[in-house]
Structure 1
Amino acid sequence: MGKKFLLPVEGMTCASCVTRVEKIISKTQGIKNVSVNFANEKVSFEAENTDIDLNSIAKELNEYGYKLKVESAFKTNYNSSETKDEYYHELKKDFTISLFFTIPVFLISMLIDLQWFQSVWFFSIEQTQKILFILTTPVIFISGRRFYSVAWNNIRHFSAEMNTLVAIGTASAYGYSSFVILFPESFNHHSGHVYFETAAVIVTLILMGRILENRAKIKSSSAIQELIKLKPSTARLLVDGNETEVDIKELITGQTVIIKPGDKIPADGIIVIGNSTIDESMLTGESIPVEKSNGDKVFAATINLSGSFNFRITATETNSVLGQIIKMVEDAQGTKAPIQKLADKIAGIFVPIVILISILTLISWLILFPESGLSNALVQFIAVLIVACPCALGLATPTAIMVGTGLGAKHGILIRDGENLEIASRISRVVFDKTGTITEGVSFVTDIKLFGVDEEFLLKIAASVETKSEHPIAKAILNYAKNKNIQLSEINNFQALSGFGIQATIDNNPVLIGNRKLMNEFSIDISVAESQIEDLENQSKTCLFVAYNNSLTGIIAVADKIKQTSLEAVSKLSKIGIKATMLSGDNRKTVEKVAAEVGIKDYYSELTPSEKLNHIKKFQSNKEIVAMVGDGINDAPALMQADIGISIGNGTDVAIESSGITLVKGDLLGVVKAINLSKNTIRTIKENLFWAFIYNIIGIPLAAFGLLNPMIAALAMSLSSVSVVTNSLRLRKAKI
């Protein structure tokens, strides 16, 4: 498997740039899955070879006016926000210069035809035109240089994007007006009108729009910055019995950190001395503080509320749970939703089409309205160029995804990418595992039934074999045996039999631990225990059969509590029209009772992983969009088969793995919130795309038919981009 890169790229100004950057990078041999995010100005791609020459890619991009920040690939603490701040300050400086000169240009141009102004204005029309020329020139060549430099690069490579439109439009207005001043005899009184104010106002308004857009884009990605700010800057290390304050970047695994009341925890670790109460809400969304003592895990960025303790570091920076969350959110914000493909295709051919329409507009006005002269035709030509806005198309999807995934992270909902976000919005059925999903997953032993052996012997062989198992029931047996001070035996030939149980040998004697199916598979007679089995199952207890040397030696019954929010979650899913199904490997009576308690009418019991998989396939064959919710321990096939897999964890003790959605908090209401969030986000994307398309569909004809002044067109174009980003920002206040 190759290496994945996520690098900042500067110089993109519209959706057309996205297509171009993707094409340039995709041309490099050994690179695949190139995806550019216009909103956060980053490109992601996979390189088959780890020795890929990033500098050569950067050099080619630079030819087109784009800067690939290669150094960020080799710096763990690269801060792209510094570059964005620098760009913002440059924009503000250019805008200030432009505004300073544009205000007098605009006022003089608007007032020059009024009699009262002419009575106090001491300059002739010719002199006034020269003053406007002098005032407009710095706007074009200082503030507007960014448009022309990029446009020139585009022309050299026979390509075009938004800067090309702005450059052609403003250069046409400025060039034509300058020609009028230099060669006034070539024009009659009507056609000798100048349009310096048009050129100046267009540059100023577009710079203003970019400033507003830049600020809004930064707000849309604020979730990442907020997560980064959760980390403290320093930590107290215990070195040779002395307390030493160090920068958190100097922390390494194995060191011991001192934590006092009110401190932010600087890294992940395990408490070695002391106990406390810790606020983990910033990671899990759970407002109730968590009690911690010796041997418990603590996590970076969480807050110690009371008590003092020392902990040993197990993970720092990017390897911590917080670091993994930041990376997952950042990766998700750099992806595209399938709905964006149409917008990208249109944006790729948008600018050339607009240039063609503007040229046809110019020719049509010259042919159909010759009496209006070249100047009037030129105004409509400029208006068409300026009103067209591929930016809104480029921002419609990524800004909404950035805000949506950021909001999800705040609620402990980690969405892997834009594709999973879109799939989640179309879910028609949610399939739940039982143990650890609908129930707490913290099983406890309730009964032990013995057949020819004593309790100590039964627990010894059962606990010894269960040491190799990851199933929640294994923990229950191990805890029970530990409390009974049972000495464990050495085991050999351990094998997990998915959907059945486990087998191993102790002193060369075969041991089987599992469900009824496992006993039947190995022809173990359990008929002697049928009445006891029925009694236990009627109490919604799970029976674990233990066979030693091919004979039934005992039954260990375990129980599990249903999560408090499971009933509410199933009810809320029903209210939004989503079906709920439970697939479990447990016995029929236990599954039946759990399903009844949480309101699930569609349930299946005693299933193997392959049978769960077949049920998922059956639902999908009926054109249903299926989400599978499980803890990932024995649900892997079903999670992979489902249209979207939702992994559910227990607080911060969760692996940030390959599921489409990961719920940090083990609360099933998170499933409802994830679906509502995705629906809100996709609805926002559709709204953005609608307005972006409608804006261009209406704006371009209005400009072509002479119903839109170029200055109004510039204002409308700038505001269209800002409105799309602002609409996405509304998601931050959405109730999920």
Structure 2
Amino acid sequence: MKFKNVAVISLMTAFVFFKGIDFDYSYQLDNGEGDSLNTEAKTLTKSINKVGFLEKIKPHAELIAAGLSGGFIAAGWLLDKYGDGADSIIAYLLAFVIGGFAKAKEGIEATYENKELNVEMLMIFAAIGSAIIGYWTEGAVLIFIFAVSGALETYTMNKSHKEISSLMKLQPDEALLISSGYEKKIPVSVLRVGDLILIKPGERVPSDGMIIKGHTNIDEAAITGESMPVSKGSEETVFAGTVNMTGAITVQVTKESHDTLFHKIIQLVQSAQSEKSPSQQFIERFEGTYVKVVLSVVLLMFFLPHFILGWSWQESFYRAMILLVVASPCALVASIMPATLSAISNGARHGILVKGGVHLENLSHLGAIAFDKTGTLTKGKPEVTEVFVKEGLDKKDLIWKAASIESHSNHPLANAIVNYVKSNITKELLYPESLEDVPGWGVRATINGEQWKIGKAAFVDNEHIDTFAEGKARDLASLGNTLVFIEINGELSAIIAMKDVVREETKLAIDHLRKQGIHTVMLTGDSEKTAHAIANESHVDEFFAECLPEVKVEKLKSLKTKYQTVAMVGDGINDAPALAIANVGIAMGGGTDVALETADIVLMKNDLPRIAEAIDLSKRMNRIIKQNVIFSITVIMLLISSNFFQMLDLPYGVIGHEGSTILVILNSLRLLK
């Protein structure tokens, strides 16, 4: 088949390739080969329109187009070298059309929509100008490299969107509903709060819920980024998208499909990808003005060098075309968005969800970071820290009986005592002979004939509290402990000290932040004494006690005045106002829905060291953006000056300019690691 026949089919292929639709090949050749060409065209149509074909190649469309463009450039060069000039021009035209279609379409649509010229339009003008002055090869190479850089940029976008696609695929479409003793498969979308579902080993959890029967290990990597499975049993929470590893469990649905934590994660990542950083917004505003300036200077260069410097008309036009190529801010425009998207994708993969580039950019400028205490620096639940018993009594026996009494209460302090005993003593708990709850004070009980009182100091024999265990009550209270007193048969017999203990990773995280030069602050509603003890234990620089939500907001405002950029870390409803007022609000993944909605960054695992990781990621992103911007501006200035001194030919201008664009995109892709 002759080259021009190949050209026609290639144009048809390109049309179908980009539009993704069927059309009637009615083209007929005048040389008698129309029938064979139409047959080939129809065959091509059938093959292209096979089910799923377009969907498979769609993510790689620009890269394939760039490859085809490069192939036609090579064909054009060979044809030109061996004297077939007409066919070489056809080859170059195909390179122009196939390689430049996507970017030209994008540029024309953006220009029409925004009424503003853009980089894509500059490239179109430069390629057409190169062809006009006879530099077909250079114009085609310009389009080719521009197509490659566009394909790389699209690859970055697709890589980022892939995080969402992979997340969305993790949630099952169906659930096994248990109703009236029968199992029935139903779509996840019709599940309602209160429904019971059966989840077998190896299956993904279809909706957020609470285990009411069974025990298993859950792989929560999709939610928290943590690879180690978590053991879960009755009355514990499971999340949609996680994997049931070992045992069958019955789960009661607590949230509908559109309200699950998993669904919110997808929404967070989607909103992050659409929100632009201040740097990106500045570049986009700058782009329109810059393009106008470049076009104005190019027009002047058509005439001024001829009259002022004595250049020939051909030289002036040639230099103007080179200026049009090298002055285009392609590399500058591509310096920020790929880096931002790569960083957001990296964070999402490691359980750090950032709602937009602006928040990630701000992280590297933090001067101070404030932490809520309960559930953030601490575990959020009281734990037994020490037990002191009267001399002569069996400590293990006493605490076992105390837990037997407290097991009938839902109070958090009672639960802490029961959990402490269950983790240290294997004996079954006793059942008290009598039990009386005294609201606000404690509990009375009879167990093995003994009269017990467990509760506040004022509820028991408090005359000897100061001297009991050599003043231990006073010492424990000064360390921020809450004290529960035990009286047996009218005598003070034991003190149980409990505290919301600092997380093991808290000190490491705070120390890391201080090394980065960030001032750390704790905001808590607790008393001064408790706050002081927790602050010392967690290594924060400063603390404020007895903070109501409005007080936290005022403290954040004063910190912003002093340190300019301030972050707030919290997990509760009372933290939401402070999260909103901070420059960067960071919510713990185990927090309330309000905190997740209000925060700018969400740590899917309650792991404070992830904050330092996020700051490091932000600094890497900003560092790479600076490298890209400085490099791209330097290359543009160097190429412009070389062109003015007539030291730069068009081929090298094309390679230098478009090569710099590819390099800054490749540099940005390093953030995906």
- Runs of at least 5 residues in structure 2 that lack an aligned partner in the other structure: 1-51, 389-405, 420-428, 441-455, 486-494
Aligned to 1:133: 89
More displaced, 527-536 or 586-595? 527-536
Distance 1:271 1:82 in 2: 43
What SS does the aligned partner of 1:577 have? Answer: coil
Distance 1:346 1:249 in 2: 46
Distance 1:303 1:154 in 2: 44
Aligned: 1:105 with 2:61: no
- The answer as to whether partners of 2:217 and 2:246 remain within 8 angstroms in 1 is yes
Distance 1:617 1:159 in 2: 40
What SS does the aligned partner of 2:254 have? Answer: strand
Aligned to 1:591: 531
- The answer as to whether partners of 2:571 and 2:591 remain within 8 angstroms in 1 is no
- The answer as to whether partners of 2:122 and 2:291 remain within 8 angstroms in 1 is yes
- The answer as to whether partners of 1:278 and 1:302 remain within 8 angstroms in 2 is yes
Cα deviation digits, residues 476-534 of structure 1 (max 9, x gap): 4677799989788999xxxxxxxxxxxxxxxxxxxxxxx99xx9xxxxxx999888873
Aligned to 1:36: none
Aligned to 1:403: 342
What SS does the aligned partner of 1:301 have? Answer: coil
Aligned to 2:359: 420
Aligned: 1:383 with 2:322: yes
Aligned to 2:606: 666
User: Structure 1's 173 and 286: CA in aligned 2 closer, same or farther, altered over 3 A?
Assistant: closer
User: Structure 1's 619 and 248: CA in aligned 2 closer, same or farther, altered over 3 A?
Assistant: closer
Distance 2:344 2:557 in 1: 29
User: Once the 2 structures are TM-superposed, how far is the Cα of residue 563 of structure 1 from its aligned partner?
Assistant: 0.9
- Runs of at least 5 residues in structure 1 that lack an aligned partner in the other structure: 1-80, 112-120, 177-193, 449-461, 468-473, 492-514, 520-525, 546-554
Aligned to 1:303: 243
Aligned: 1:325 with 2:296: no
Q: Which residue, 122, 126, 131 being the options, matches 1:165? A: 122
User: Once the 2 structures are TM-superposed, how far is the Cα of residue 269 of structure 1 from its aligned partner?
Assistant: 2.0
- The answer as to whether partners of 1:609 and 1:638 remain within 8 angstroms in 2 is yes
Counterparts in 2 of 1:183-262, with a 5 A limit? 194-232=134-172, 234-238=174-178, 241-245=181-185, 248=188, 253-262=193-202
Distance 1:690 1:595 in 2: 43
Counterparts in 2 of 1:473-552, with a 5 A limit? 475-476=412-413, 534-542=474-482
More displaced, 422-431 or 93-102? 93-102
Q: Which residue, 381, 387, 390 being the options, matches 1:442? A: 381
- The answer as to whether partners of 1:212 and 1:722 remain within 8 angstroms in 2 is yes
Q: Which residue, 563, 566, 584 being the options, matches 1:644? A: 584
User: Once the 2 structures are TM-superposed, how far is the Cα of residue 325 of structure 1 from its aligned partner?
Assistant: 0.9
What SS does the aligned partner of 1:592 have? Answer: helix
Distance 2:583 2:111 in 1: 45
User: Once the 2 structures are TM-superposed, how far is the Cα of residue 665 of structure 1 from its aligned partner?
Assistant: 1.9
Aligned length: 562
Cα deviation digits, residues 448-482 of structure 1 (max 9, x gap): 9xxxxxxxxxxxxx999x99xxxxxx644677799
User: Once the 2 structures are TM-superposed, how far is the Cα of residue 250 of structure 1 from its aligned partner?
Assistant: 6.0
User: Structure 1's 273 and 345: CA in aligned 2 closer, same or farther, altered over 3 A?
Assistant: same
User: Structure 1's 172 and 208: CA in aligned 2 closer, same or farther, altered over 3 A?
Assistant: same
- The answer as to whether partners of 1:202 and 1:710 remain within 8 angstroms in 2 is no
Aligned: 1:683 with 2:623: yes
What SS does the aligned partner of 2:336 have? Answer: helix
- The answer as to whether partners of 1:331 and 1:416 remain within 8 angstroms in 2 is yes
What SS does the aligned partner of 1:622 have? Answer: helix
User: Once the 2 structures are TM-superposed, how far is the Cα of residue 607 of structure 1 from its aligned partner?
Assistant: 4.6
What SS does the aligned partner of 1:443 have? Answer: strand
Aligned: 1:569 with 2:517: no
Cα deviation digits, residues 320-375 of structure 1 (max 9, x gap): 2111111112212211222334322211212111211222222234335656442x
What SS does the aligned partner of 2:141 have? Answer: helix
User: Structure 1's 637 and 153: CA in aligned 2 closer, same or farther, altered over 3 A?
Assistant: closer
Aligned to 1:497: none
What SS does the aligned partner of 2:586 have? Answer: strand
User: Once the 2 structures are TM-superposed, how far is the Cα of residue 538 of structure 1 from its aligned partner?
Assistant: 3.1
User: Once the 2 structures are TM-superposed, how far is the Cα of residue 537 of structure 1 from its aligned partner?
Assistant: 0.9
**Percent identity among equivalent residues?**
30
TM-score normalised by L of structure 2:
0.71
| RMSD value, Cα | 4.3
Aligned partner of 2:334: which letter?
L
User: Once the 2 structures are TM-superposed, how far is the Cα of residue 86 of structure 1 from its aligned partner?
Assistant: 6.3
Aligned partner of 1:104: which letter?
A
Aligned partner of 2:216: which letter?
S
